[in-house]
């Protein structure tokens, strides 16, 4: 599995770039640069962005040009990557990537986890300016203005992306005859946040939710019941996984989201699992992916 995380922090006095290219089980490169004057900073920025683009397009080429010869059940479109079921489908998993990424990396990651009767859909987020990254345009499900439990959130953007995911759910139901309680939502980081929000506000019961290295967006609205939204209307099982050494979305942030969910759902005896992964940063690992595989098998037998 290959995936990329990029965070850029810009201001008029200093330049800070925290750029990660992660190839799990091979190596990890982390470059942190704090430079003045601005001209040197720009050179470093464009060099790193060029490397990131090369890495992404290399992997996109592998998926679109080479993988087809190995797996005729794989499909690619500008909107999503897809693992078709090997037998007539009776369940679907819709998994959402994180900020600055696309569905390609998670498409690869799930290749070894696939169940024969399950369709796996990996949508691509639109490219939009992200406030936290100085307005830089990148794939994102909604605008991100900061990180933390008290950050200002892009409610309109979150709701718009949730509506798009509902369209995918409806397509699975209408075109592939998959009942809603056999459709699972999941995601990593921002994608996990959107999966949680979409599931908890979805009018039909779903098959489960996976939220990796993530958080519950608009948590204050859920806590207050604003707009009629509720933490208990959706009865499906929830699995959250989070690294204890996550530098981007701190472990405590994911833990707080889980506590909110647990407190609301415990009296109804609903499954709300939270598993820490010792020493893991803002990424996934083999142990977590094994747990994801087990969760899917349990919820979508």
What is the sign, positive or negative, of the torsion defined by CA atoms of 229, 230, 233, 234?
positive
CA distance 115 to 117: 6
In order, the DSSP letters of 182-201 are GEEEEEETHHHHHHHHHHHT
Q: Provide the annotated active-site residues.
A: 189, 246, 282
- Burial of residue 226 (CB within 10 Å: 0-12, 13-18, 19+) is exposed
Tokens encoding 12: 């008029």
CA-to-CA distance for 214 and 276, rounded, in angstroms? 12
d(CA 139, CA 249): 18
Strands (E), 26-182: 27-35, 74-76, 80-83, 91-96, 118-123, 127-130, 136-139
C-alpha span between 46 and 170 (Å, rounded): 41
Count other C-beta atoms under 10 Å from residue 19's C-beta. 21
């Amino acid at each position: 599995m290959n995936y990329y995380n990029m965070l850029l922090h810009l201001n008029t006095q200093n330049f800070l770039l925290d750029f990660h290219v992660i190839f799990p089980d091979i190596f990890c490169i982390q470059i942190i640069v704090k430079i003045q004057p601005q001209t040197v900073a720009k050179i470093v920025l464009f060099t790193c962005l060029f490397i990131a683009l090369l890495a992404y397009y290399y992997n996109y080429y592998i998926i679109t040009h080479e993988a087809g010869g190995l797996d005729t059940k794989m499909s690619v479109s500008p909107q999503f990557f897809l693992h078709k079921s090997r037998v007539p489908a009776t369940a679907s998993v819709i998994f959402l990537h994180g900020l600055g990424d696309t569905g390609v990396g998670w498409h690869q990651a799930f290749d070894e986890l696939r169940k024969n009767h399950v369709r796996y859909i990996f949508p691509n987020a639109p490219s939009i300016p992200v406030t936290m990254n100085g307005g830089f345009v990148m794939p994102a499900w909604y605008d991100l203005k900061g990180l933390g439990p008290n950050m200002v959130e892009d409610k309109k953007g979150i709701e718009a992306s949730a509506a798009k995911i509902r369209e995918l759910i409806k397509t699975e139901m209408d075109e592939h005859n998959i009942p809603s309680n056999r459709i699972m939502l999941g995601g990593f980081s921002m994608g996990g946040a959107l999966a949680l929000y979409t599931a908890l506000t979805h009018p039909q019961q779903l098959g489960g939710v996976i939220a990796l290295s993530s958080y519950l967006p608009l948590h204050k609205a859920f806590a207050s019941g604003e707009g009629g939204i509720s933490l208990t209307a959706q009865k499906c099982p929830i699995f959250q996984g989070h690294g204890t050494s996550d530098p981007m979305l701190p472990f405590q942030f994911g833990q707080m989201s889980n506590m909110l969910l647990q407190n609301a759902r415990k009296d109804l005896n609903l499954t709300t699992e939270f598993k820490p992964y010792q020493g893991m940063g803002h990424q996934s690992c083999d142990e977590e992916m094994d747990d994801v595989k087990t969760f899917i098998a349990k919820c979508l037998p």
